[in-house]
Every structure is written in C-alpha cells, then in structure tokens.
Amino acid sequence: MNLNERYGPWALIAGASEGTGSAFARQVAAAGINCILLARRDAPLQALAQELGREFGIETVAASVDLSATDALEQIQAVVGERELGLFISNAGADSTNTRFLDSSLDAWVGQVNRNVMNVVRCCHHFGSQMRERKRGGIILVGSGACYGGSSFMAVYSATKAFDLNFGEGLWAELQPHGVDVLNLILGQTDTPAFRETLAKTGQPVPPNLARPEDVARVGLERLPHGPVHNWGLADDEAGYLPMSAAARRGRILAIDQVTKAIFGEDGAK
Ligand SMILES: NC(=O)c1ccc[n+]([C@@H]2O[C@H](COP(=O)([O-])OP(=O)(O)OC[C@H]3O[C@@H](n4cnc5c(N)ncnc54)[C@H](OP(=O)(O)O)[C@@H]3O)[C@@H](O)[C@H]2O)c1
C-alpha cells in the first residue's frame, strides 16, 4: 500500500509530542506525508517537527493545542488552514488522574470527556466531511482495552474509550463506501512516557513485555484499511476472545447495517 497516495498529502496527529503519537508521526513522515503535530507542550513538538523535516524532507506544522478545551476544533482549524488532510490520528487520550471517580475534581473528568469524546467527534465531523467529499482518507482512533468494560480507577476513562469504539465502528460502516478508512486501534500496556509516569506515581514496577510505540504505529497503519477494530496482540478472530473479536464485531456491524438501511433507506433522512 502506498500510504501517501491513500492518505496524503497531510496528516494531523493529535497527541504527537511523545510515545505512540511521535512514533506515528515518524512513520507517516517516512512515507512522505506532511505532518501537523499537536499536543500541549510546544518544545517537544517543535523538536520533532524539525527532526521530521530534516530526515524525511516533508513539510511540518507544530502547534500547542489543549484538546480538553471546548474551542479546540476552532484552534485546530486555524492551524490546518487550507491544507488537504488525508489522515487524522486521534492519539491523545490516557488518564493522567490515576484516581477513583470521586477523588479527582469534576473539572478533571469533564476535561477528559472533552478530549476523548467531544473533540474526537468534532474533529471527525470536520475532517471526515472533507474526506468523504474527496472519496479518500483515513481515521485512526487510538483506544484502550479498557473500552470493553468499566472498572474502578477507570470509570470515566473506560467510558470515553467505549464511546470511541462504538463511534469508530459506526463511522467505519458509514465512510467505508466513500473510500474513507476508519480504525479503532485498541492498545494494551504500551511503553510510553505517560504510562511510565503512571507506574511511577502508583509505585508499580515496569512490567515486562510492554508494546513498543514504533510497533504500535506500524501495526496501526497496516491495519487501517482493514477496520473497524484491531486489538493489539490479538488475531482478527482470536479464539476465546469472542466479545472483543474484531471479526465478530465487524460481522455484527454489517448485520445491523442491513437492518438500519431497511428502516432508514440507503441515505437516511434528507
Ligand atoms: N500507554 C499505555 O499503556 C496505553 C494503554 C492503552 C491505551 N493507550 C492509549 O494510547 C494513547 C496514547 O497514550 P499515552 O500513554 O502516550 O498517553 P497520553 O497522555 O495520551 O499522551 C499521548 C500524547 O497526547 C498528548 N496529550 C495528552 N493530553 C493532551 C491534551 N489535553 N491536549 C493535547 N495533547 C494532549 C501528550 O502530550 P502533552 O502532554 O504535551 O500534551 C502526548 O503527546 C491514548 O489514547 C491512550 O488511551 C495507552
């Protein structure tokens, strides 16, 4: 697959300053796609932008945007301008509170919902419309195994990731006929600075066999045309993992799609 032909000329990586986000940026840039890099901290973004330009001869834009802000999309639109975006990677999304629900402020949880839900929806609506019009493009939503069920310490985080999973599956069903690929890349424990910080804060040792960000990014780009779900480390139809089997979920979506089309017609309400 020629990534640049399918997803160029510009990619937007939200949460690009380190870890899986910067690994995605490196691999996308290596394919010759120009990169728009977003995160809160400006210095690592500027350093990465310069490195990618130097190493791969691509154009880069780096901008500090807080994805928890309610006006993040307006800020992003101002950064992107008229550039033609063929790839949107929504990577920012880990829980940095590491507390139970009632032990962090409401503001912290609302910020997480804004970042992981509201602004993902806003960005997908804006950039997805342009991709559908051009009949090409790709969207990767970086998710977490926490999406498959709630648990203590992760009430809001797992709920936002469950939203993203269902949202991405629906987008896949709707956009696939228009040449736009959508993938929920569901990660397990991954060796990122944010995850190491969480381990340090909670006094846990670094577990063995963490996924490497560069492997995560490579697999994400490889699986993008085969959405809607890839579970890190699992086969497409992993025996014994039926509720999260990517193949079973794909089959379910296509079956439900037939029912909804029977109710709403091919194009829905006008
Ligand atoms: N690491 C794991 O073990 C693991 C496991 C399962 C799923 N995941 C998923 O993988 C993705 C990456 O996780 P991660 O461990 O690298 O942690 P992360 O905290 O999501 O950090 C990733 C990037 O997002 C940026 N970011 C975080 N909050 C932001 C905000 N409010 N506005 C703008 N940028 C923001 C960070 O840079 P700044 O700090 O500069 O803003 C960083 O560049 C997440 O979606 C997470 O849910 C990770």
pLDDT tens-digit profile of 38-59?
A: 999 999 999 999 999 999 999 9
Residues of the chain predicted below pLDDT 50:
none
AA identity, residue 195 = F
Number of structural domains (the chain) is: 1
User: Residue 84 burial by CB count (10 A; 0-12/13-18/19+): exposed, middle or buried?
Assistant: middle
Contact status, residue 94 vs residue 194, Cβ threshold 8 Å: yes
**Residue the block writes with tokens 């977003």:** 38
Q: Is 104 helix (H, G, I), strand (E, B) or coil?
A: coil
Cα dihedral sign for 37, 41, 42, 46?
negative
Return the pLDDT at 189. 94
Q: Which residues contact 225 (CB under 8 A, 6 or more apart)?
A: 1, 6, 138, 181
> Contact, 154 vs 95, CB < 8 A?
yes
Name the strands in the sheet holding 10-14, side by side, starting at the edge strand that comes first in the sequence.
60-64, 34-39, 10-14, 85-90, 137-144, 180-187, 229-231
**Which of 18, 119, 184, 230 to mutate to test ligand 1, by most ligand atoms within 8 A of the CB atom?**
18
Look at residue 164 and tell me if it is in a domain. Answer: yes
Q: Is 249:229 a contact under the CB 8 Å cutoff?
A: yes
Helix, strand, coil percent values for the chain (each to nearest 5)? 55, 15, 30
Which residues contact ligand 1 via a Cβ below 6 A?
15-21, 39-41, 65-68, 91-94, 96, 115, 142, 144, 187, 189-190, 192, 194-195
Give a yes or no: residue 175 inside a domain. yes
Q: Which helix (H) or strand (E) holds 197?
A: helix 193-201
Cβ pair 36, 13 in contact under 8 A: yes
Does residue 46 form part of some domain? yes
Please, how many CA atoms are within 13 Å of residue 11, restricted to the half-sphere of its CB? Answer: 35
In a domain, 24, yes or no: yes
What residues make up the domain containing 216?
7-237
Under DSSP, is residue 76 helix (H, G, I), strand (E, B) or coil? helix
What is the C-alpha to C-alpha distance for residues 176 and 190, in angstroms, rounded to an integer?
29
**In this structure, what CATH number is given to the domain that contains residue 139?**
3.40.50.720
- The rounded Å distance from CA 269 to ligand 1 centre is 37
| 181 belongs to a structural domain | yes
Yes or no: say if 16 and 37 are a contact pair by the CB < 8 Å rule.
yes
* Confidence (pTM): 0.95
So what's the pLDDT on residue 270?
Answer: 63
Question: How far is ligand 1, taken at its centre, from the CA of residue 19, in Å?
Answer: 8
Q: What is the pLDDT of residue 252?
A: 81
Helix (H/G/I), strand (E/B), else coil: 138: strand
In a domain, 249, yes or no: no
pLDDT tens, position by position, 98-139: 889 999 999 999 999 999 999 999 999 999 999 999 999 999
- The verdict on residue 138 lying in a domain is yes
DSSP element (H, E) containing 107: helix 106-113
Residue 247 lies in a domain: no
Task: Give distance in angstroms: CA of 104 to centre of ligand 1.
Answer: 19
Running DSSP on this structure, what letter comes out for residue 89?
Answer: E
